[in-house]
Amino acid sequence: MKYLFLKICLFCLFLLLFTGCAIGVPQNRDEFVAMYSESGIFTAADHYTINQPAKAVIADVKEYSQKCLNVQVYDSPNYALRETGGKTTYRPKIETVRKNVFSLSVQEEYNDHHISGSPKDGLFTLVAEITPAGKGKTKLDIYHPRGSKTADPLKDWAEGKKGSCPNLRRGY
């Protein structure tokens, strides 16, 4: 049963990659947000109100991105799934995108190889927008592929619950 589930997951991943290649991949954070703004089968858009001032949330998100997302992960080959091993480089970037709107975007590059049609620093895999939402509150919008390992920990860190970093290795 476990292998059937894995085969289905791999098939779905193949379909996602195939359709992504056919329709193109987002080239910047705005295109990624537009593509992921509505939750779908493979996409998620999470919207939260955090009971902390925006400055505190931004500081916590910066700490999370530097501690947990500014990393390289090495995976060994998985012969059972016919996966080659390799290195994944995560590149977080925090910037001001509009007045009072801050953004964390994460791009991934695999084995230091540029994928044809992808942006310069790798594929976008998460964008979070942080906006002040009144006295002592902050709006946090997270756009990511469904099943992302980085979105839930990001929310926890934004709320001040600085837990451990997510395991970014392949597999479940």
Q: Is residue 4 part of a domain?
A: no
Neighbours of 127 (CB within 10 A): 26
Q: Is residue 1 part of a domain?
A: no
> Which has the closest alpha carbon to 77: 86, 90, 89?
86
What CATH number is given to the structural domain containing 72?
3.30.530
pLDDT, tens only, 94-132: 999 999 999 999 998 988 777 778 888 889 999 999 999
pLDDT, tens only, 24-65: 788 998 898 888 887 777 788 899 999 999 999 999 999 999
Entry pTM: 0.78
Output phi, psi for 41, to 5 deg: -65, -45
Q: Which pLDDT score, from 0 to 100, does residue 132 have?
A: 95
Q: Residue with structure tokens 């540029």?
A: 114
| Containing structural domain, residue 54 | 26-158
Q: Is residue 40 part of a domain?
A: yes
Q: Is residue 172 part of a domain?
A: no
* Cα 129 from Cα 13, distance rounded (Å): 26
Q: Is residue 2 part of a domain?
A: no
Structural domains in the chain (count): 1
Q: Is residue 20 part of a domain?
A: no
